[in-house]
């Protein structure tokens, strides 16, 4: 590897000084589809899914991809083809899942704010289970289920009050968050559910956050939640499903998160084999499967700071602005003298916000205007959190598979920006 350059994405590699994703020369790809553009590796998605599959092979289980990470229909079709289901948090995600062919019996519905129309939609389509997060939600689901004379399967989302050492915006299992039922209230909550005529409460669910790179928070949460099962049995409630959520982190820079096999080997020691395990990986499946390619527009120096102004922005990838998240950034092409003329740059976009950056103080060569950069590990919460702020059309999405590539979403046009407006 050239001096100062490292790659964290398995399917990225330099060959003859050109950057390839799987077997695709990225410079050839961007000449066809322009920039900014999201590119995904089909084979990395499959490998990541199979890592979870292998980790759970000795148990009854269901892998429900957390589609909020990236809900493109082609990605959902790949998950469906592997036998997976999805974790949804809205009626729109349910629509996307069904449209992609996901079987309703492989769909779990989480989220604190399910509307009545969303609940109706889910019940009519016979999803597997609702993860309930409040008493008022339970009352509404029971009411709607009664209207259709259907008994629906529900789980209680438990807030186990464990610290995760992740960003506060994506920590969901600590005390004081909006998510779940406090663990000390769960037994009484199940008693309340047991008198709801149309609710069949047979599940426990927890999800403690995202980008967690240590095993201990998962173990602490599992032990706490599993300890509720004997107490529930004493009041006549038999738990059938244990939904352990998602949240397993990936490597963005120097992190060394556990593999799914290592995680499950430790976690499942505390889980009875008569339980059906549901897990909800999102970032782990798609995070390192996707990259964002952007073009250098201009150079600018202010005092002792160098800027590379590129055509991607916080509207394409908001994680750096929103979380202060780190994404490795590398050039699409290198030269034999690469490393001799290096400097530190802030990589910034065209949006009218100081927070519009993709990376700060990155050691890069003296690139020319029109050269390309790759933002690594952008598959999760990249396109799915993109916006039209500053009236910027959303980018295209491309899938690569070995030596083939194909478009899975068109780039938006200016006309798309006003298509639904009425005047």
> Could you give the residue numbers annotated as active site?
352
What's the DSSP call for residue 182?
E
- What DSSP assignment string belongs to 23-87? TEEHHHHHHHH-SSEEEEEHHHHHHHHHHHHHHTTTS-EEEEEEGGG---HHHHHHHHHTT-EEE
Alpha carbon of residue 343 to chain centroid: 33
Sign of torsion over alpha carbons 45, 48, 54, 60: negative
On whether the CB atoms of residues 191 and 345 are closer than 8 A, the answer is: no
In the chain the first and final C-alpha atoms are separated, in Å, by 56
CB 69 within 8 A of CB 290: no
- CA distances to 65, 81, 130, 279, 324 from 106, in Å: 10, 13, 12, 11, 34
Q: Please choose, from the candidates 323, 322, 320, 395, the residue with its C-alpha nearest in 3D space to the C-alpha of residue 362.
A: 320
Helix (H, G, I), strand (E, B) or coil at 382: coil
- For residue 225, which phi and psi values (nearest 5 degrees)? -70, -45
Q: Is the dihedral of CA 319, 218, 158, 110 positive or negative?
A: positive
Please tell me the distance from the alpha carbon of residue 90 to that of residue 117, in angstroms, as a whole number. Answer: 10
CB-CB contact of 237 with 194 (8 Å): yes
Nearest to 291 by CA among 15, 2, 29, 3: 29
Q: 63 has which bridge partners?
A: 279
Is the distance from CB of 257 to CB of 223 less than 8 angstroms?
no
């Amino acid at each position: 590897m050239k001096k100062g350059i490292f790659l964290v994405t398995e399917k990225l590699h330099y060959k003859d000084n050109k950057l390839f994703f799987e077997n695709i020369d990225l410079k050839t790809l961007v000449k066809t589809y322009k920039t900014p553009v999201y590119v995904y590796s089909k084979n990395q998605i499959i490998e990541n899914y199979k890592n979870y599959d292998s980790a759970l092979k000795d148990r009854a289980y269901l892998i429900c991809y957390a589609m909020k990470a990236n809900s493109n229909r082609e990605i959902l079709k790949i998950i469906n083809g592997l036998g997976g289901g999805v974790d949804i948090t809205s009626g729109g995600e349910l629509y996307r899942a069904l449209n992609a062919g996901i079987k309703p019996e492989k769909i779990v519905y989480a989220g604190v704010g399910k509307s009545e129309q969303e609940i109706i939609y889910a019940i009519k389509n016979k999803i597997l289970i609702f993860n309930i997060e409040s008493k008022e939600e339970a009352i509404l689901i029971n009411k709607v289920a009664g209207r259709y004379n259907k008994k629906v399967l529900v789980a209680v989302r438990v807030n186990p009050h464990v610290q995760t050492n992740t960003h506060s915006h994506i920590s969901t299992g600590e005390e004081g968050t909006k998510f779940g039922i406090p663990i000390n209230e769960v037994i009484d909550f199940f008693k309340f559910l047991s008198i709801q005529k149309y609710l069949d409460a047979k599940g426990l669910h927890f999800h403690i956050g995202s980008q967690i790179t240590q095993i201990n928070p998962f173990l602490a949460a599992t032990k706490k939640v599993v300890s509720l099962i004997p107490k529930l049995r004493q009041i006549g409630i038999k738990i059938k499903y244990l939904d352990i959520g998602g949240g397993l982190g990936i490597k963005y820079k120097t992190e060394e998160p556990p593999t799914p096999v290592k995680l499950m080997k430790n976690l499942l020691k505390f889980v009875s084999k008569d339980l059906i395990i549901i897990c909800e990986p999102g970032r782990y499946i798609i995070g390192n499967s996707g990259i964002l390619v952007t073009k250098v527009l201009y150079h600018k120096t202010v005092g002792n700071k160098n800027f590379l102004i590129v055509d991607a922005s916080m509207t394409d990838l908001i994680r750096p602005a929103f979380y202060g998240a780190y994404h490795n950034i590398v050039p699409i092409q290198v030269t034999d003298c690469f490393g001799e003329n290096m400097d530190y740059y802030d990589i910034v976009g065209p949006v009218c916000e100081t927070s519009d950056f993709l990376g700060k103080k990155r050691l890069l060569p003296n690139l020319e205007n029109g050269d390309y950069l790759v933002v690594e590990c952008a598959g999760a919460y990249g396109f799915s959190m993109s916006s039209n702020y500053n009236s910027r059309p959303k980018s295209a999405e491309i899938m690569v598979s070995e030596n083939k590539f194909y478009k899975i979403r068109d780039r938006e046009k200016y006309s798309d920006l006003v298509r639904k407006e009425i005047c």
